[in-house]
Amino acid sequence: MNSLTNVEKSFLMESIRDVPDFPKPGILFKDITTLLNNPEAYSLLMGHLEARYGEYDLDYIAGIESRGFIFGAALAAKLGIGFVPVRKKGKLPSATIAEKYALEYGFDEVEIHIDAFGGKEGAKVLLIDDLIATGGTAAAAAKLIKDAGAECVEACFVINLAFLGGTRKLADITPHYSVLEVE
């Protein structure tokens, strides 16, 4: 399986800008826009993902709103497969299924179209997003994929904020992979 060297991982990490106190004081935001506008870094990342998932025999890639769309749609195009958006409640125009998940104070919800996987029972789906923090959105999205009759073969993240433990929420739902780890 394709893996990145420590030098390549360092290069990718250095291409991501840290923004202190965003969106609120005390948060160090990992801004991937600087990776996206660096053609060498973005090409390295997408080449790595293409090599990793090229032999998974995937049917679809599902990307979590909104930054998961950037990586998911590009990877789906590279692999010649379909892309499915996982959106916040009320953003999709046709019949949907939804999954709620807990926030620090309250709940949120994500949706996919009921026919997102073309009626193909057991479709093999990769879930992708830019970052996993507490894991609520990713766990809800992985459950949605299963609820739609597909198989979430893996959840992929460019960055795992490991100190927040989000991947633990995925442990019983789907395997996961992160390109970069922040301890």
Angle at 162 between CA 160 and CA 165, to 5 degrees: 110
Contacts 24+ apart (CB under 8 A), 40-48: 41/11, 41/12, 41/15, 44/4, 44/8, 44/11, 44/12, 45/12, 45/71, 45/158, 45/179, 46/71, 46/74, 46/75, 46/78, 48/2, 48/4, 48/8, 48/179
Q: Check if 52 is active-site.
A: no
Residue 168 falls in the annotated catalytic set: no
Catalytic residue from among 67, 109, 151, 181: 67
Active site residues: 67, 104
